[in-house]
Amino acid sequence: MKRFIAIVILACMMLSMPLFSLSLEGYEPYNNGEFPKWSLDLRRAECIFFGGIPITFPVSALAFNLANKDASFLETLGVACAISAVITVVDYVLGVINAD
């Protein structure tokens, strides 16, 4: 039964591929003034914050293990998010300073 379901899903994906194919004929790149500065800053902060969590989570788990503290998953995740947030704020401040 699992094999049949996998084959049906694969067949549906293969049949729908031409519907979702990308065509670059109508592609037009974004202009410099198309988005406001705050939205670009927010997008950069989002990428740095959520991109930093997979890096800071193992580092904070390792730090808890080296300190011989038995931390739960949520404690480790909270510390990882806090570290990632600090990195994001530091990046924003450095960007504001370098913009001058």
Q: What is the pLDDT of residues 34-72, one digit of tens each?
A: 999 999 999 999 999 999 999 999 999 999 999 998 999
Determine, yes or no, domain membership for 69: yes
CA 88 to chain centre: 13
**Confidence (pLDDT) at 21:** 57
**Confidence (pLDDT) at 33:** 86
What is the domain count for the chain? Answer: 1
Domain housing 74: 35-100
Question: What is the number of residues in the chain?
Answer: 100
**Confidence (pLDDT) at 59:** 95
% residues pLDDT > 90 (the chain): 58
Determine, yes or no, domain membership for 25: no
Rounded Cα distance, 20 and 30, in Å: 22
- 18 — pLDDT class (breaks 50, 70, 90): low
Determine, yes or no, domain membership for 51: yes
pTM for the full predicted model: 0.68
Determine, yes or no, domain membership for 89: yes
Determine, yes or no, domain membership for 87: yes
Determine, yes or no, domain membership for 11: no
Determine, yes or no, domain membership for 9: no
Determine, yes or no, domain membership for 26: no
DSSP state of 32: T
Kindly provide the b/e burial profile for residues 49-72, where b requires at least 16 CB atoms within 10 angstroms of the residue's own CB: beebeeebbeebbeebeeeeeebe
